Chains A and B, each alone.
Chain A
């Protein structure tokens, strides 16, 4: 009895006591002087209520000073409620931003755009940069019968580099061929035969010598067979931006190159002690294709081993991508095609503002400015060091200045090697002009050319490298490079730039610039055609994939750790597999012919490998690669029931209908929800041993104040209760049958009831609200401007087009890019 009483008293107070209503308090006591939306009232208090204070600071100020007639008349809770209300409604910078009339703002390049743009401006002077040819096939493997990569035995494509060669050779050694020397001997012997052997003894001696030599040769060949080497070459596609840990595991001499073919990132020619694993971090940009080479030599190094032994050998090429675990670099990110190196921006940048849900470059900071300076210096050094290759000239001499990357050398290497590139200075000036044009995404006016190129070379008195350094620094620090379409010229070049940044996060390619020059980017069809072409590029694929991950709210690192007692098989490797499974599904839908959005929500198939099949109860061999399978016959539907998503929106032990419901409500349906007034800890299951998760959530959120949001959230989360904390199908929760009933009140006022996940997914796939939310979010992700700035009807029009194309995701992306490309910045 006592315990029941405690519960009665405790819970209503702690969880669902109605706090003071901030909005009502504001209207009653503040609006008279400050206006209904804090805009101010003439002759009372005419300045808008706006500032930078955080809620607690604001609350304290209100409590002490307001209302003017009776300061300190509000309780602490009341002041806090008013503060929270006005902060969210109009006071805070974010609220002001939200309330502002929509316009297309001037923005700077986002960090990702900066990295792509610098790489592409430099890369435009090389052939084949960022080509993803034969992507997804693996690496080219060249196998050699010696330790020094000389005797070629076998060429093939290897899907993965994960070999345990044991003591066997990785190729069939050829039959020993008779050596040319032998032929000569035979001829000699023949000649001698004709002459008749002079002496039988001599012949016998000869034969014995022959036999001895033959035995020696065989022994040598035998010995050589225990030495071999493999070189894997090709390219690697970085699916997302971030730091990749490249890992080579081997007990033999290995070296790895990533991007720069002249500088190994891992050099483990020396095997020493027990170290068998080597790691190198490399920061890569998502959607870019990088040179890759791995050399492996199974032999002692140094002085040649006269009798190499048949010892075991292994080699594995792995990586730990951002958000991932260490795994062999998957085949789908490898290509046997070699690409040229790229310029890598290694300078760290502060992250972009994502307060509105998409990356925006609407503010600059000192850190950002300093990063652009460092990155400009880095690019200038790179360009000067590699100028001769960028000019297409061959420079056979080894130049230690260039090799040491000493271009900062400015006045050091004024005298270069004995054979300078002909007309180097002249070519460098031509290069400089094009470099600036490509950085600015448009031809230079005569005045700009004078300022950015001619003056810079004139100032350094014939020192080509110093002149070029100045040009690159000036161009990459210029607002014409750092800011988007800053001149607002309203011509085809601006259109080309907007198109390229929307779809590639980068500068226009030669084809776009040519089209702009010929005035062929005027009509929507012309622009759309370009957009459709551009979608095939790996940068576009990465950007669309990044958008889908954002749409699913999976673009932040979340803790996927589960209780190992309840889910012993849910290892980090399994979690990484789940992410791969989702990646494969998303790419499958987007890049299929129909590219049908509704399949994202309806598909009843899941990609599983052997490990996941065992975990989720599908019938696949233990070592099966990822395969599309129908899981849980008819109980799954697209992304909503994908185990990665269900695992993400769950606790370590329990499912979380609230997280899942918030995701469906905000992400999929696009409804606005406010965060809870204060942080709550979920009710502990062991305090309520008889309740299911659904019942506990209902209990905790039953108060009227909670229900304003949870009436929407909970019934959208409950249909997913048929899946536990790792997204596995379940019939029971806490020994009771799960209840998967749910509902949603549409904006047109209709209440939709769902029996479970599949039912809800079917509704969502056809819901205009869902389509509108998807369109709007995609627009923001691509254009990085508010869709409302493109006209009050822009969103609706796009949604109609979406419907007309059978909800084709790629067509929508092209259409969004087209709309955004054809509209310039707001002038007012």
Chain B
């Protein structure tokens, strides 16, 4: 193979160092799974409850004002949907944090087990699957909505511990899914094959050269084996080329800053890197369902970059009267909101490939938490905030419910994907069906 074409080959593999800005639409890409509008769901978790008076708008309806925590979402105000008054009604084994995160997306009890919290009885894993996986299964079962991964589970600074406090996504009873909180590991999952192919392609010339030498050294009757081998190497070369040509039109592999360590103070960088990969996964249609988990329930990040030196969970236990602590908690929750605002902006700035509008028009971000507020460990008024047009809900509103089980919202998420589940999680909490006033 001549040198020039080798270089071209490498270039089309998309592994050159050049970082090109994202060009939205990918011309020439044929999507098999695009007979109707693409819908995406991204669930974002941040821990330890919110500061209710700095989170919830005072008003109900279209005219509402954003409070300090959600201020960063001002540019997307018409795409917001506040859902106040939803409660996690699931009881049973496990302490408040465990049930908070474990039943948040599943709506069903934890199994009895051996994990003891600070109060209540010990518990194990959840006894049902989570709503994102329910939707994923539905999308994967249909060729029109099937994607390479089905769902991707992202994390930021999730501790190296598999227990009830650190898992929110379940593929089924007793089947927690570990989020990938290392952006490099996620990158490899998404783009590893491309790198592998590039590395392989880079050694083929030298391999062929040596194959020729070796073939010259064996007898005629033994040469057939080497000839066969050489033929397979040439076939591989052709396949690598075809692969590079077919799948690489217009799609850039994102570049991550190298060497970022998984440690507390790198959290802002890790967050940005994961968001970059999420946006690219949606752009490339690797998945239509994703979750992003910041730390874990009882999460204790120290947001020193905000001037907060205490851990979040410790602060969250402080009473309402501790003004200083509540101010810090407001800052912390605002930081999470900034991440979501950045994510929303990246999605809004990226046109929908092969479709109309932006990625945000076809994506709904669901931001939630395991608790309503940290110092009471309440499961009432869980902060549910939806952003974007993926599910076709009527946005730009602040809604208030009267202590409604959150299972009904989970059902609504499925129904928005045309998946008419009759119940989700514990049927006891699904009595009145999906929420009726979202669409």
Stretch from A12-20, A186-194, A407-415, A611-619 at the B interface = A407-415
A318 to chain B, nearest CB (A): 20
Which residues from 437 to 475 on chain A have a C-beta closer than 8 Å to any C-beta of chain B? 448, 451-452, 455-456, 459, 466, 469-470, 473-474
A 182-209 to B, binary, CB cutoff 8 A, 1 in contact else 0? 0000000000000000000000000000
* Contact between A827 and B219, CB atoms less than 8 A apart: yes
* Contact between A451 and B184, CB atoms less than 8 A apart: no
* Contact between B164 and A477, CB atoms less than 8 A apart: no
Query: How far is A480 from B209 in the complex, measured between Cα atoms in Å?
Result: 13
User: Beyond A271-B124, A416-B259, A479-B214, is A826–B233 a contact (Cβ under 8 Å)?
Assistant: no
Chain A residues, Cβ within 8 Å of B210: 448, 451-452, 478-480
Chain A's closest residue to B185 (CB) is: A404
* Contact between B219 and A487, CB atoms less than 8 A apart: no
* Contact between B203 and A413, CB atoms less than 8 A apart: no
Stretch from A359-367, A507-515, A707-715, A730-738 at the B interface = A359-367
Chain A residues, Cβ within 8 Å of B182: 400, 403-404, 406
* Contact between B214 and A486, CB atoms less than 8 A apart: yes
Select A410's contact among B199, B203, B218, beta carbons within 8 Å: B199
* Contact between A406 and B187, CB atoms less than 8 A apart: yes
Chain A residues, Cβ within 8 Å of B162: 267, 269-270
Chain A residues, Cβ within 8 Å of B174: 272-273, 275
* Contact between B188 and A409, CB atoms less than 8 A apart: yes
Chain A's closest residue to B218 (CB) is: A106
Looking at A103, A252, A363, A479, the one whose CB has the most chain B CB atoms below 10 A away is A479
B93 to chain A, nearest CB (A): 10
Chain A residues, Cβ within 8 Å of B211: 479
A398 at the interface (CB under 8 A from B): yes
Stretch from A295-303, A570-578, A653-661 at the B interface = A295-303
* Contact between A478 and B114, CB atoms less than 8 A apart: no
* Contact between A412 and B184, CB atoms less than 8 A apart: yes
Chain A's closest residue to B230 (CB) is: A479
Q: For chain A, which range describes its interface: under 10, 10 to 19, 20 to 34, or 35 or more residues?
A: 35 or more
* Contact between B114 and A377, CB atoms less than 8 A apart: no
* Contact between B188 and A408, CB atoms less than 8 A apart: yes
A 278-312 to B, binary, CB cutoff 8 A, 1 in contact else 0? 00000000000000000000011111110000000
Query: How far is A793 from B203 in the complex, measured between Cα atoms in Å?
Result: 46
B256 at the interface (CB under 8 A from A): yes
* Contact between A373 and B236, CB atoms less than 8 A apart: yes
A417 at the interface (CB under 8 A from B): yes
* Contact between A302 and B163, CB atoms less than 8 A apart: yes
Chain A's closest residue to B174 (CB) is: A272
Select B229's contact among A369, A401, A416, beta carbons within 8 Å: A369
Query: How far is A377 from B199 in the complex, measured between Cα atoms in Å?
Result: 9
Chain A's closest residue to B124 (CB) is: A272
* Contact between B202 and A488, CB atoms less than 8 A apart: no
* Contact between A270 and B233, CB atoms less than 8 A apart: no
Query: How far is A595 from B259 in the complex, measured between Cα atoms in Å?
Result: 58
A 788-818 to B, binary, CB cutoff 8 A, 1 in contact else 0? 0000000000000000000000000000000
Select A405's contact among B163, B188, B195, B262, beta carbons within 8 Å: B188
Chain A residues, Cβ within 8 Å of B222: 105-106, 825
A482 at the interface (CB under 8 A from B): yes
Query: How far is A825 from B174 in the complex, measured between Cα atoms in Å?
Result: 58
Chain A residues, Cβ within 8 Å of B116: 300-305
A763 at the interface (CB under 8 A from B): no
B32 at the interface (CB under 8 A from A): no
* Contact between A366 and B232, CB atoms less than 8 A apart: yes
Query: How far is A269 from B122 in the complex, measured between Cα atoms in Å?
Result: 13
Chain B's closest residue to A369 (CB) is: B232
Query: How far is A10 from B20 in the complex, measured between Cα atoms in Å?
Result: 83
A108 at the interface (CB under 8 A from B): yes
B112 at the interface (CB under 8 A from A): yes
Chain A's closest residue to B260 (CB) is: A400
Chain A residues, Cβ within 8 Å of B202: 459, 470
User: Beyond A366-B235, A828-B221, is A482–B229 a contact (Cβ under 8 Å)?
Assistant: yes
A333 at the interface (CB under 8 A from B): no
B260 to chain A, nearest CB (A): 8
Chain A residues, Cβ within 8 Å of B114: 252-253, 270-271, 299-301
B192 to chain A, nearest CB (A): 5
Select A380's contact among B110, B199, B218, B258, beta carbons within 8 Å: B199
* Contact between A474 and B217, CB atoms less than 8 A apart: no
B45 at the interface (CB under 8 A from A): no
A125 at the interface (CB under 8 A from B): no
B246 to chain A, nearest CB (A): 18
Chain B residues, Cβ within 8 Å of A363: 225, 228
Query: How far is A362 from B226 in the complex, measured between Cα atoms in Å?
Result: 10
Chain B's closest residue to A417 (CB) is: B259
Chain B residues, Cβ within 8 Å of A314: none
B143 at the interface (CB under 8 A from A): no
Chain A's closest residue to B203 (CB) is: A474
B265 at the interface (CB under 8 A from A): no
* Contact between B125 and A272, CB atoms less than 8 A apart: yes
Query: How far is A369 from B232 in the complex, measured between Cα atoms in Å?
Result: 7
B122 to chain A, nearest CB (A): 5
* Contact between A106 and B225, CB atoms less than 8 A apart: yes
Chain B residues, Cβ within 8 Å of A487: 214, 217
A483 at the interface (CB under 8 A from B): yes
* Contact between B258 and A412, CB atoms less than 8 A apart: yes
* Contact between A413 and B113, CB atoms less than 8 A apart: no
Chain A residues, Cβ within 8 Å of B192: 408
* Contact between A273 and B235, CB atoms less than 8 A apart: no
Query: How far is A589 from B210 in the complex, measured between Cα atoms in Å?
Result: 47
Chain A residues, Cβ within 8 Å of B200: 373, 377, 473
A226 to chain B, nearest CB (A): 14
B111 at the interface (CB under 8 A from A): yes
* Contact between A478 and B233, CB atoms less than 8 A apart: no
* Contact between A364 and B199, CB atoms less than 8 A apart: no
User: Beyond A302-B117, A366-B232, A483-B226, is A413–B258 a contact (Cβ under 8 Å)?
Assistant: yes
* Contact between A272 and B199, CB atoms less than 8 A apart: no
B54 at the interface (CB under 8 A from A): no
* Contact between A451 and B229, CB atoms less than 8 A apart: no
Which residues from 328 to 381 on chain B have a C-beta closer than 8 Å to any C-beta of chain A? none
User: Beyond A364-B225, A406-B184, is A269–B163 a contact (Cβ under 8 Å)?
Assistant: yes
Query: How far is A301 from B17 in the complex, measured between Cα atoms in Å?
Result: 47
A761 to chain B, nearest CB (A): 43
Chain B's closest residue to A416 (CB) is: B259
Which residues from 700 to 720 on chain A have a C-beta closer than 8 Å to any C-beta of chain B? none
Looking at B123, B124, B206, B260, the one whose CB has the most chain A CB atoms below 10 A away is B206
Query: How far is A593 from B112 in the complex, measured between Cα atoms in Å?
Result: 57
B115 at the interface (CB under 8 A from A): yes
Looking at A273, A303, A414, A483, the one whose CB has the most chain B CB atoms below 10 A away is A273
Chain B's closest residue to A378 (CB) is: B196
Chain A residues, Cβ within 8 Å of B125: 270, 272-273
A312 to chain B, nearest CB (A): 13
Chain B residues, Cβ within 8 Å of A826: 219
* Contact between A451 and B209, CB atoms less than 8 A apart: yes
* Contact between B124 and A483, CB atoms less than 8 A apart: no
User: Beyond A272-B174, A474-B206, is A412–B256 a contact (Cβ under 8 Å)?
Assistant: yes
Query: How far is A380 from B195 in the complex, measured between Cα atoms in Å?
Result: 12
Query: How far is A415 from B259 in the complex, measured between Cα atoms in Å?
Result: 6
Looking at B17, B210, B217, the one whose CB has the most chain A CB atoms below 10 A away is B210
The 6 A-B pairs with the shortest beta carbon distances in the complex, nearest first, are: A272-B124, A273-B111, A106-B222, A404-B185, A369-B232, A300-B116
Chain B residues with a Cβ under 8 A of chain A: 15, 17, 110-118, 122-125, 127, 161-165, 173-174, 182, 184-185, 187-188, 192, 195-196, 198-200, 202-203, 206-207, 209-211, 214, 217-219, 221-222, 225-226, 228-229, 232-233, 235-236, 256, 258-262
11 A–B contacts, CB within 8 A, in A order: A271-B124, A300-B115, A302-B163, A302-B165, A363-B228, A400-B184, A404-B182, A410-B15, A478-B210, A479-B210, A825-B218
Q: A409-B187, A474-B206 are in contact. List 16 more A-B contacts (CB 8 A).
A: A253-B114, A270-B115, A270-B162, A299-B114, A301-B114, A369-B229, A404-B184, A404-B188, A410-B199, A411-B15, A412-B184, A414-B258, A452-B206, A459-B202, A486-B217, A827-B219
